[in-house]
Structure 1
Amino acid sequence: MSVQGRIGRAGGGKVKRELSVQAALDWAFRVEQAQLELPPPTDVTDEGFGFGLEYVLLQQAALGCKVDGGQHKMGSYTHADAEVIAATVAGMPSNLGGIRMAICVVELARAGMTPDWMPGAVPRCVPVETKQNQYGERAATIVVGTERVKTRGKWRTVELLACPVTWRPHPEQIAYARRGYDEWWQALDWVRDGLIAGRMLREVEVTTAMPKERPWFSTQPRAINR
């Protein structure tokens, strides 16, 4: 998504760049390289010594985010509006995923991506395993029992074969991906409302525009049974 927003004029003739919340996040974290500050652990009091090295390393490993102590990048300037955006994201409430969702929002913004909600995914009933022979690819079968049958006057024991099947992609896999997108969308909605209500941005104006909410409903495919 382009971060070149529409230019508008605020009161007093001051020019502001209008950006959707997704474009503003992209600009703050990918262009301005703003850093996300992690809140202190709940068991650390004001009289304590703050983060221990072990805690910082664990957070970096578990969350995949570089912990910033509040300083600007070495030899570079981070725009004040980008820092306001980063601070807003860092305050993500626990009912929306808290710091883990904040990390997700930041990493997607840095990559210029949206969550993969598996567009066009259609569950298909397919064999669990296939085998190749001289006639081509065939579904693998398993023996599920035996049966006595009479052929040409003689009783014979024959194997009962079945073909195990599964769904690919599995409906739960698709549902999981789309829950992730929906949670990300709710997080962006919260960030957008906070930035608009806070009125702390000086040169950027966040618009009400949002990514599509549950885009899979617009073209919902049917399951195919083969």
Structure 2
Amino acid sequence: MSHDDFDQEPIRGLPEMLPEGETILWQGAPYWWALTKESLSFKWVAGYFLILFGWRAIVAGSTMSVIEAMTAASFYLVLGAVACIMLILTGWAQAKSTVYTITNRRVIMRVGAALTMTLNFPFTQIAAANLTTRKDGSGTIALQTLGETRFGYLTLWPHLRPWRITRTEPALRCIPQAAKVARLMAEVAEPEISQPRVARIDPAHATPNVASLAAAE
């Protein structure tokens, strides 16, 4: 019997229904091969084992024939193939379990292959969004968030901007047509962040000017 861990989601990628007035404008997920290459350093791992194979074959070639030397070094090819297959499966699982959502009010990220979590980033809490693209049109949109909330690097990996450890930046990683998605985000975020936010303040804990405004309510 097939089983889907996300059957309970009322809307794909969302833990609950959206509030009235909020609509989904875009949903997507990482391109699994790009995520594998970029976040898991697939090429570096594959190259490392190829170098080990070549080095072992050259060393063994001084005392045996070429065929025998390559056979003796083939252990590194097998080990490298196993490592690469594991990286591919990890990248595929991460991409399959991820859903990025952009609404007219926020960015929502459902991430995690083993431990799933949903992150919400209202546009009013996003200071900047940085786009990086590749030749195939895929790319990453990294979010610089406001406030004191911190995200653990390992907890959020690989859905973050690489090497931003002290101040992690959640990211829509390796998505297709990244430039188009970034333009959409900019268009819907601008009117949202330009709207003033009015909050009720306790006059007893406010500055004099703010207290007078709060009392006037």
Which structure has the greater CA radius of gyration? 1
Higher relative contact order (CA 8 A, sep 6+): 1
- If the length of structure 2 is used for normalisation, what is the TM-score? 0.24
- If the length of structure 1 is used for normalisation, what is the TM-score? 0.23
Say which structure is richer in helix. Answer: 2
